[in-house]
Amino acid sequence: MRLEILPVLGIGDVTEGDDLAAVIATAAPWLRDGDVLVVTSKIVSKAEGRLVDVPADGPERLAARDEVLAGETARVVASRGATRIVQTHHGFVMASAGIDASNVDKTRLVLLPKDPDASARALRAALRERYLDVAVIISDTMGRPWRNGLTDVALGVAGMPAIRDHRGEIDPYGNELQLTQLAVVDELAGAGELIKGKCDQVPVAVVRGYPGVAGAGDGEGARALVRDAELDLFSLGTAEARAAGLREAATLADGPGPTAADPAAVDRAIAAVTEVVAPGTVFTHVTDEEVRAGLVATVPGWPERATGLVLGAAPTPVDPADLVRFGADLQRLRTALAAEGVPSALLPPPTGSTASAALAI
C-alpha cells in the first residue's frame, strides 16, 4: 500500500451557486474511483452562500462580528480577552465558531457550511453522476488545547467511515489493542493541508490509494467525531469551571448525602479551613457510630437520614459579631466539604447553646 497526495490546481474564485462538482471535475480530469477528495470548507461555504455582509472596519465591524458569532454559537466553552472558544450548532468546538474573514472581501465573513456532512454527501453524489466513485472530506483548520499550532480536521465526510476501529484486534504479542479508534478522516484532512497551503490557491487535495473507498456507502459522517459535552472531561474552560465552582459554593444547597461520608474526606475539609477560620473555632467530625451512641441527642432537629455530623464550637466569650463570623466559618467548612464531594446542612444549634452549631453530613 502507498498513498499519494495530489493538489487540484486551477480552481479559481468560488462564488455562490457555483457547481463544485463541475469545478473540481474540470480542474482534475485525472480523478479516479477510490480517490479521497479533501475540500476546504471555505469554498463549500462560498458555493452555498454562507456569507454575511459586515462593515469593512471600525467598531461597527466588531459589533456586527459579535452578532454573527452569537448566531453561530450553541454555547461558550471558554473565553479570554478577545478569544471566544465556542461549541457550534454542529457540535464542533472552535475559536470564533469557525467564522473566517480571510480569502473573502473585507466586507464579508464566511460561516461554516450549515451541515458539512450533507455538503459532503451532495458533492459526492454530484461526482457520482459524473461516474466518479470517490469519498469527500470537508476540512477546516482548528486549534486544540495543550499543543501550539493548528491542524486541519474533518467537518464533514461522505464515502468512508470517519473512524477506523481496531477493537478486538490482537497484537503480535497477544495483547488486545488499547488505542482502538483512529480518527482517520482527521488525519486525511491534515494530510491534504500539507499541500493545500493557506491562501486557498489550492482548496482541494486528493489522497489516492486509501483502501476501501470505491464501492463504500456514505457512512455516518463526521458527526461521529463530535463528543457529547457530558462525556468530555474538558467541556468547559478552566477559568469558567473554576467560576462555576465559586457560584456553586455561593448557592450551596442544604442536605446531607444519602450515604456515610468518607471520614478522610471530612478530615481534609476541616484541615482545609483551619487556617482561615476565627482563632479558637474548633470543628469536630462525629461519625455515625458516635451519633448513634447518643451525641445526636444534643442536636435538636437532627434529621433521621443523617449519616454523621460536624460539631462546630466558636471561641467564647461570644458577642454578636463573633456569631456572625462563626456562621461565615461554618459556611466555609460546608464549602470545603462540598469540594470533597460531601454535601451538608447547617442544623439549628443545640438548645441553650449560642457558641456551637452542627452540620449534618
Angle, alpha carbons 247-248-254 (nearest 5°)? 135
- Of 11 and 122, nearer to a copy of itself (C-beta) is 11
Nearer to a copy of itself, 240 or 288 (CB): 240
Query: Considering beta carbons, is residue 21 or 78 the nearer one to a copy of itself?
Result: 78
Site for a copy of itself in 278-317 (CB under 8 A): none
Residue 192 near residue 207, CB atoms below 8 Å: yes
Start-to-end Cα distance in the chain: 63
Amino acid letter, residue 65: R
The residue count for binding a copy of itself (CB under 8 A) is 117
The piece of 59-67, 119-127, 271-279, 284-292 that touches a copy of itself (CB under 8 A) is 271-279
- Sheet holding 36-40: strands in order across? 135-142, 36-40, 204-208
Decide: is 21 part of the binding site for a copy of itself (CB under 8 A).
no
Per-residue interface string for the shown chain with a copy of itself, residues 196-225, x marking contact by CB under 8 A: --xxxx--------x-------------xx
Stretch that binds a copy of itself, among 47-55, 116-124, 244-252, 291-299 (CB under 8 A): 244-252
Applying the rule CB under 8 A, the residues between 70 and 99 that interact with a copy of itself are: 78, 80, 83, 85, 92-93
Selected from 70, 182, 214, 260, the binder of a copy of itself by CB under 8 A is: 182
Least distance CB 146 / a copy of itself (angstroms): 4
Q: Using CB under 8 A, pick the residue from 60, 169, 262, 267 that binds a copy of itself.
A: 169
**Residue 134 Cβ vs a copy of itself, minimum distance, rounded to whole Å:** 17
CA atoms of 343 and 348, how far apart (whole Å): 17
Q: How far is the CB of 289 from a copy of itself (least distance, A)?
A: 27
Angstrom distance (rounded) from CA 65 to CA 347: 52
- Residues numbered 112 to 151 that lie near a copy of itself (CB under 8 A) are 141, 144-151
- Specify the pairing of strand 135-142 against strand 356-360: unpaired
Q: 150 and 141 in contact (C-beta within 8 Å)? A: yes
Residue whose C-alpha is closest to residue 280's, from 323, 316, 227: 316
Cell of 280: 479558637
Cα radius of gyration rounded to whole Å, the chain: 30
